[in-house]
Amino acid sequence: MPALANPEIATCGQHALDAPWNVVVHNDPVNLMSYVAMVFRRVFGFSKEKADHHMLEVHHKGRSIVWTGTREKAELHVQQLHSHLLLATLEPAPQS
């Protein structure tokens, strides 16, 4: 394995890769509330109560962060949500 030319940059890049990402679901006027909650239970394994909580947050606030974790898994979840025709995006989670 070759020596790193600039270990500081490499470390910084690795940190960025490990930084958490949010999966956000956005409101739309078409998807039924019951359908959205059902999709949350299927994709994330939420309890009925947790699925309903996020569904209502989407409905009332326009968006809900439904999952936070690695970028790779966030992309997978967004793909799953798109396959159910939900409006979903991923975004870097704010770091304290």
Site for other proteins, rule CB under 8 A: 29-32, 34-35, 38, 41, 48, 75, 78-79, 82-85, 87-91
Partners of 24 in the beta sheet?
Answer: 65, 89
Residue with tokens 């396959």: 83
Q: How far is the CB of 5 from other proteins (least distance, A)?
A: 24
Q: How far is the CB of 67 from other proteins (least distance, A)?
A: 14
Q: Which is nearer to other proteins, 15 or 62 (CB)?
A: 62
Q: Which is nearer to other proteins, 15 or 42 (CB)?
A: 42
Reduced to 3 states (helix: H, G, I; strand: E, B; else coil), residue 68 is strand
Helices (DSSP H) in the chain: which residue ranges? Answer: 7-18, 33-44, 48-61, 71-83
Contact 64, 24 (CB under 8 A): yes
Residues constituting the chain: 96
Q: Which is nearer to other proteins, 4 or 19 (CB)?
A: 19
Q: How far is the CB of 34 from other proteins (least distance, A)?
A: 5
Q: Which is nearer to other proteins, 10 or 85 (CB)?
A: 85
